[in-house]
Chains A and B, each alone.
With several copies, the nearest count.
Chain A
Amino acid sequence: MSTTSPVAPATGQAPVRRISYSRAINEAMAEEMERDERVFVMGQDVGAFGGVFGLTRNLYKRFGADRVIDTPISETFLVGGGVGAALTGLRPIVELQYADFLWNAGDEVIGKMSKWRYMHGSLFTVPMVLRLPEGAAGGAGPEHSTCPEAALLPATGTYIVIPSTPYDAKGLLKSAIRDDNPVAFFEHKGMYGLKGEVPEEEYTIPLGQADIKRAGSDVTVIAWGRLVHRALEAAELAAAEGIDVEVLDPRGLRPLDVEAITRTIEKTGRVVITHEAGRTGGAGAEIAAIIAETCLTSLEAPIRRVCGIETPIPQSLHLEQFIIPTADDLFQAIKETAAF
């Protein structure tokens, strides 16, 4: 795991530039490709076109066709080929066009990328990053809109990283690329345009450290990815009613910062867990279970999960808007949890 410590965005100093979440990701890739010639990118339309969401813009021009590779529509090759390249001295960044497509390479993700090292007696490392644009945005439908991060929870061997801000995205992606283990890196498509402070200077953020996005003492909301922002909005709504909300962003699911979770629960005694994926089988269950195991006696109210709809995500933009928890949904859950 990366050992560089996090650089907090400078405060009270010269203003830090603001760039988008997608630019932050693009910069992380460019800097790491510059730094280490073993790093290369492959995916559908990542070359001259710059990726369907523009994430690989300019990389092709800068690093050439050998290191920025347009692939066919062959997801088992994308992931399995990435593993093969990682086993033989390279450090691939593989972009799937949509996170949902990890199912097209299910065995390559679960059975090969995650297990190869362990099942071959730890004789190899598999230093690869699988970039996974996820989430509901723009009516892309049931097969292009999910947040399948929980699917990788049982895939011991693979780290799971989910940044919620441009700052986190850049710092975490750089650590992921430098890490010798496979990392599934989930980027919410609905945040690509989101701007935030990202220093000019180089920094990395270690994998597996939660971040308190807002400190508070009454109720904890555990949120990641795009829902961090809805949680922060909900916290403002709650503040207006005198409820002091802490928003904890685990910034990923493995390594999971259980200590930070325990700490916040011990502090507030009340917790709402939220994610865009449906409740059943979502990663909120794992976090809820850990809390119920390790700090049940600190709980002063039942655990609440506020999650996306359980059904497949409808294609219709009109219906899509109903599927994701809103700040208001969260605010209601916070109020009830505080009042319990």
Chain B
Amino acid sequence: MLTPETKIAIYRMMYLAQQWEMQLLRFLDDGQVSGFYHAGRGHEALEVASMMAVRTDDYLLYDHRGCAHMIAKGMSMVELYGDFLGNDKGSTTGLGAGIVHIADPAHGVLGQSGTLGGGHVLAAGAALSIKIRKTDQVAVNFFGDGAANRGTFHEGANVAGAWKLPMIYILQNNGWAISTPQARVTAVEHFSERAAGYGMVGVTIDGMDPWLVYETMAEAVERARTGGGATLIEGMVNRQRGHYEGDPMTYRPDEEIAAAKALDPVPATRQRLVDEGVLDDGALTELETEVLAEVQAAAAEAQTGTLPGRERLDQGVYA
């Protein structure tokens, strides 16, 4: 249920995820971050509000777009920073380094397939496992409009539908796969049109509206927990930044980028709290100050980590 408390919690988490990422971008600018980063600016409402509607023991296969889903799922900001800094404060204590290979079994964060779309079938396997073990968990798989066209989606979605698995596919449709617009490589406007063909419920929603995301997700989770089967939620979102940090974005008209930025879900949600009378500006500023302090503390803590030595390389290959 979307209580005022939940609304506040969602906004708090969205703001936190955004600030967390801004600090990460500073680390990046300073050359402290290993590898690539695909900023999640614009995707916060969808990633956060959906993850606020699940439990700690539910499973998450996240995608590469930002870290808001992992943060909202309960992962420690310190561990996340540590992963990007590649040090022993990270969830993978320096071995993974960065998005793609963050994980947190205690919060149900199962990891990510760097070959996009690998998660479609892994998540279905996790959902099958739930069914076999007869728990009431759910498995959630995030992916983009690009990864939606991998064949693994077909194979995962088919069993999810056929076996009524407790599976939720969350498609973050930002209209772009790197430089490739959806319409160039896909006939349909909405991927949710594909859900019925698998016996799944499919919906397309405004992924910038966190209240709607939360309610849609809560319904899907309820359905999954009670044996009603799988759901595909397509959230329409905007990628505010480049595909990765450093992307020249030559392929994208300036107006489109400007329009995307104007739709920033973080300030929009803030305004909504004020408009709906849930919190006033003063209270929000206080909350934000608190969040900022948490983010800064996490960043500071993560920086105290140590880079792993060469000897770490062949540790833990086998159980």
Contacts and interface: CB of A to CB of B under 8 A. Distances in A.
A touches B in complex, CB < 8 A? yes
Interface of A: 40, 44-45, 47-49, 52, 66-67, 69-77, 79-90, 92, 100-101, 103-104, 107-108, 111-112, 116-125, 127, 138-144, 156-157, 179-181, 309-311, 314-319, 322-323
Interface of B: 34-36, 59, 86, 90-98, 100-105, 110-111, 113-118, 120-133, 139, 146-147, 149-152, 154-156, 158-159, 162, 177-180, 184-186, 250-251, 307-308, 310, 312-319
A141 B308 contact: no
Given A73-B177, A74-B150, A122 B95 contact: yes
A48 B178 CA distance: 12
A84 B123 contact: yes
Given A49-B178, A120-B103, A125-B319, A138 B35 contact: yes
Nearest to B99: A315
Given A81-B125, A316-B86, A181 B95 contact: no
Contacts of B159: 71-72, 74, 77, 81
The 9 closest A-B pairs by CB, nearest first: A84-B125, A121-B92, A122-B316, A80-B121, A81-B125, A316-B97, A139-B35, A143-B114, A49-B179
B100 A315 contact: yes
Contacts of B35: 138-141, 315-317
Contacts of B96: 119-121, 141, 314-316
A118 B317 contact: yes
A198 B12 CA distance: 58
Given A44-B178, A77-B121, A85-B128, 11 more contacts: A48-B251, A49-B250, A72-B158, A76-B121, A80-B152, A88-B133, A100-B115, A118-B316, A141-B101, A144-B114, A316-B308
B113 to A, nearest CB: 6
Contact of A73 (B95, B105, B117): B117
11 contacts: A70-B184, A73-B149, A81-B121, A84-B123, A90-B133, A111-B118, A117-B319, A140-B35, A141-B114, A143-B114, A309-B314
Contacts of B36: 138-140
Contacts of B86: 315-319
Contacts of A125: 319
Contact of A121 (B91, B131, B150): B91
Contacts of A84: 110, 121-129, 139
Contacts of A121: 90-96, 101, 103, 316
B158 to A, nearest CB: 6
B97 A139 contact: yes
Contacts, number: 262
Contacts of B186: 72
A76 B118 CA distance: 9
B115 A72 contact: no
Contacts of B115: 100-101, 103-104, 107, 111, 143
Contacts of A316: 34-35, 86, 94-98, 307-308
Nearest to B35: A139
Contacts of B59: 88
A311 B96 CA distance: 13
Contacts of A73: 116-117, 146-147, 149-150, 177
Contact of A317 (B34, B101, B310): B34
Contact of A70 (B34, B180, B314, B315): B180
A96 to B, nearest CB: 11
Contacts of A315: 34-35, 86, 95-98, 100-101
A190 B90 CA distance: 27
A314 B133 contact: no
B315 A122 contact: yes
Contacts of B156: 77, 80-81
B151 A120 contact: no
Contacts of A69: 128
Nearest to B185: A72
B95 to A, nearest CB: 5
A161 B186 CA distance: 34
A89 B312 CA distance: 27
B113 A311 contact: no
A317 B96 CA distance: 10
Given A81-B128, A140-B36, A316-B34, A44 B180 contact: yes
A315 to B, nearest CB: 4
B105 A124 contact: yes
A81 B158 CA distance: 12
A77 B155 contact: yes
Given A49-B250, A309-B314, A314-B97, A123 B147 contact: no
B197 to A, nearest CB: 14
Contact of A322 (B117, B128, B162, B310): B310
Max chain B Cβ within 10 angstroms of own Cβ: one of A52, A73, A81, A140: A73
A49 B248 CA distance: 10
A80 to B, nearest CB: 3
A100 B115 CA distance: 9
A309 B185 CA distance: 38
A108 B121 contact: yes
B88 to A, nearest CB: 10
Contacts of B149: 72-74
Contacts of A71: 159, 185
Nearest to A105: B121
B110 A143 contact: no
Contacts of B102: 120
